[in-house]
Amino acid sequence: MFRFAQPHMLYLLVLIPLLLAGVVVMMILRRRRLERFGQPETLRELMPDVSPRRERYKIALYLCAVALVILALARPQMGSKLREVTREGVEMMLVVDVSNSMLAEDIKPSRLERTKYAIGRLLENLGQDRVGLVVFAGNAIVQLPVTGDYVTARNFVNQLSPDMLSSQGTAIGAALKMAAGAFSSQSEGARVIILITDGENHDDDALAVAENIAKQGIKIYAIGIGTPEGSPIPIGGDVLRDKDGKVVVSRLDEQLLQKIALGSGGAYIRATSTSLGLDEIVAKIKQTEQKRFATTMFEEYNEKFQYPLALALALLLVDTFMLSRKNKLMARFNIFR
């Protein structure tokens, strides 16, 4: 398994285009100053040893070396040893609505963006629990099987979008049924489903599915995101309209979500612009019976920073010994002309 031990250092790569832009500006200014002294053809005759191509090569070598040093600072590593560890916690299937109604902005900046942010914060604070991800609109898919790899989970959460599913709608029942079947065999007795949706169910009998899930000993915690007053749904610079041209207003259906959650022994909470309610939900989940289960993890990682660092030093050496003027000793090789 490959990873960066300090991935935040990769943000320094933004320096590369900035440095390149600065070099381009300096070259333009220098050319303008030279043009004040005469025609380019005349100046080339007066300065036969000047090699613009060499200068471009030196700039490219320097920028590549800087990029490689930044990669070395991020500390690339390769997993070298697997071991099975025992964790004590619960398995949580996050069931997230990605239908167009989640683009409504009654929860700022939007229902979906607020959901992604809150789940990201949750994953930062989890310790030994395992999470999975089911997304749904008109149909449902398991986007991420249960895992203890929170970095991978965050990457999947960041990609949540209504474009993930071609079928629009809100099939809550289908999503819950899929989530209930996605738990690992080791987690029986410590399984919870966290449903995040505006509750506008159009396609199936979600209550019947929830009752069946409760019989399996799985609790459902529901987070209602949106407001009862509702909000238009922004689509392509306009708002969503029905076949008669009227603006579609998406409203939170709390009654359905309350019945789903309370009927399974879970809990319901309404999200706000300041709190999605995940912290409160997780606090309740921690009070349930936890389960010991095994998971496979990389125990040791080998540092690989020395390879990009060595290559960067090699490029800097080449840059140092490459003169910006033509070298008579190297002229016969016709490398830089």
What distance in Å separates the CA atoms of residue 206 and residue 112, rounded to the nearest whole number?
21
Write down the CATH number for the domain with range 84-295.
3.40.50.410
The answer for residues whose C-beta is within 8 angstroms of residue 186's C-beta and 6 or more apart is: 291, 293, 294
Q: How high is the pLDDT of residue 45? A: 58
pTM of the full structure: 0.63
Other Cβ atoms closer than 10 A to 288: 15
Domain boundaries, the chain: 2-75+305-333, 84-295
9-55 pLDDT tens trace: 999 999 999 999 998 898 788 777 766 665 666 655 555 556 667 77
Q: How confident is the model at residue 162 (pLDDT cuts 50, 70, 90)?
A: very high
Q: What is the pLDDT of residues 52-89, one digit of tens each?
A: 677 788 889 999 999 999 999 999 988 666 555 566 67
Average pLDDT, the chain: 83
- Do the strands 219-224 and 268-270 form a parallel or antiparallel pair, or are they unpaired? parallel
The more confidently predicted of residues 79 and 329 is 79
- The closest of 36, 170, 146, 142 to 89, measured between CA atoms, is 146
Summarised one tens digit per residue, pLDDT across range 264-292 is 889 999 988 788 888 788 877 776 655 55
Contact (Cβ atoms closer than 8 angstroms) between residue 305 and residue 20: no
